[in-house]
Amino acid sequence: MTEPSDTAEELAAWQRRLVQALDEAAELPVDTRGATPFEAHAVYGHGVTLRRYPPPATGQRRPVLIVYSLVNRPFILDLTERRSLIRALCDAGHPVYLLDWGRPQGADRFLTLADYIDGALAKAARDIRAEEGGAPDLLGICQGGVLALCLAALHPARVRRLVTLATPVDCRTPDDHLSRMAQHVDFDRAARTLGNIPAEWLNSVFVALKPYQLLGQRYAELPELAGNREALHDFLRLERWMYDSPDQAATAFAEFARELYQRNALLYGRLEIAGQRVRLGDIRQPVLNVFAQQDHLVPPPAARALGAHVRASSYEELAFPGGHLGVFISRRAHRELIPRVVSWLAAE
């Protein structure tokens, strides 16, 4: 039986470690630009910028265009030198491009999905082809994977091959908690009322899906980082990423939530972009579909549905034993998963 004095001593020690960790954290800078140098290759308006990360040596591999989610900042893909998907691709010899969607301003509330997909994304793929001499391989992540699928279906000449990571395709699977929440929201009314959708509102939704892990457990373990500068710095970078999200362009956000999560329009070929139907069956490029087995945002069945609908010249799946963020920031992902993605991209 634990004595009260022992419990009090353990609690006091925990509090001392917490104070130490907080004091050390206050002295650490948190850079949100990422760990890998890049250049602004093109600007497409509305704050959208195409970044280029040059490889250590030129002319070795085909270009890769990373299409990340609209709802978060992309520096999670370049969190540290040790945990950087971008660095891994560069080190493999790929010229890496990334669309930074920026932070929508008040006048951007009227931007549509077509502005992002048939506008900025299509232009980026065109410009990369002109710069590199060939169409890029697309690497679409989460919501960005949906945008990448749309581009591959509508503009096949601008995409050589396609990798999707944690990408929702069937948004009405039984274990999709985000979809269940979305059924009860009038997104068009929210857009009319709020204008651009506040990042704080979206963050509260994501936290509500996994409150114990994102709040209680995460911070309860903070004292264990006291005295470990590297681990504490990693914690702070991830913390900044979680709460540094941009507001969402109202029209595009409402369109995405309504069409994908309420109508499941991507799965059934009913999603329209710039007057054209997006049909997954029109995707003929080779596809690698990666999903996380413990993903609380994109359950495995939501991602695996892609395989039954594309008509790709080759289709492969990779199941990763981890969560949504684990597919690109965990040590296991960098040891096992990302090398397999790099190997797939290297194949002819």
Q: What is the pLDDT of residues 327-346, one digit of tens each?
A: 988 899 999 999 999 999 98
Structure tokens at 278: 């997006």
Measured CA to CA, the distance from residue 203 to residue 67 in angstroms comes to 21
How does residue 138 score in pLDDT terms, banded at 50, 70 and 90?
Answer: very high
Instruction: Reply yes or no on whether the pLDDT at 57 is more than 90.
Output: no
Is residue 3 over pLDDT 60? Answer: no
Q: Give the pLDDT mean for 290-318.
A: 96
pLDDT value for 23: 66
- The verdict on residue 1 lying in a domain is no
| Contact present, 328 and 238 (Cβ < 8 Å) | no
117 within some domain: yes
Asked if residue 55 is part of any domain, the answer here is: yes
Percent of the chain with pLDDT over 70: 90
Beta strands 39-45 and 137-141, pairing class: unpaired
User: For residues 75 and 209, which has the higher predicted lDDT (pLDDT)?
Assistant: 75
Give the pLDDT band of residue 27 (cuts 50, 70, 90): low
Which of 165-169, 187-191, 219-223, 266-270 shows the lowest mean pLDDT across its residues?
219-223
In angstroms, rounded to a whole number, what is the distance separating the alpha carbons of residues 10 and 7? 5
The helix or strand, by DSSP H or E, that contains position 315, with its residue range, turns out to be: strand 315-320
Domain that holds residue 254: 15-346
Comparison of pLDDT for 140 and 24, the residue scoring more: 140
Is residue 9 one of the residues assigned to a domain?
no
Cross-strand bridge partners of residue 51 = 40, 98
Listed range (27-41, 72-86, 126-140, 211-225) with the worst mean pLDDT:
211-225
Residue 215, classed as helix, strand or coil, is helix
Q: Please name the amino acid found at residue 279.
A: R
Within 13 A of 291's CA, how many CA atoms are on the CB side? 22
Number of structural domains (the chain) is: 1
Contact in structure between 240 and 143 (CB atoms under 8 Å) = no
Q: What is the pLDDT of residue 104?
A: 95
Whether pLDDT at 61 is above 70 = yes
pLDDT of residue 1: 52
Is 177 a member of any domain?
A: yes
307 DSSP assignment: G
- b (16+ CB within 10 A) / e for 104-124: beeebbebbbbbbbbbbbbbb
Here the CATH number for the domain that contains residue 315 is 3.40.50.1820
For range 12-33, the mean pLDDT: 68
CB count within 10 Å of CB 6 equals 10
User: Does residue 285 register a pLDDT over 90?
Assistant: yes
Structural domain includes residue 7 = no
pLDDT at residue number 228: 76
Q: Is residue 238 part of a domain?
A: yes
Task: Choose the catalytic residue: 90, 142, 150, 171.
Answer: 142
What is the Cα 201 distance to its own chain's centre? 18
**Does residue 142 carry a catalytic annotation?**
yes
The two tokens of residue 12 are 């006091």
Q: Is 270 left (phi over 0), alpha (psi -120 to 50) or beta?
A: alpha
Q: Say if residue 79's pLDDT is above 80.
A: yes
- On the question of pLDDT at 91 being above 90, the answer is yes
Tokens encoding 289: 């579909």
Within a domain: 2: no
Query: Which residue, among 136, 32, 115, has the nearest Cα to 80 in the 3D structure?
Result: 32
DSSP class of 84: B
Structure tokens at 279: 């049909």
- ∠ CA(315), CA(317), CA(321), 5° rounding? 175
Higher local confidence (pLDDT), 56 or 122: 122
CA atoms within 13 A on the CB side of 77: 28
- What band does 216 get if pLDDT is binned at 50, 70 and 90? low
CB 246 within 8 A of CB 46: no
pLDDT at 80: 87
**What does the mean pLDDT of the chain come to?**
89
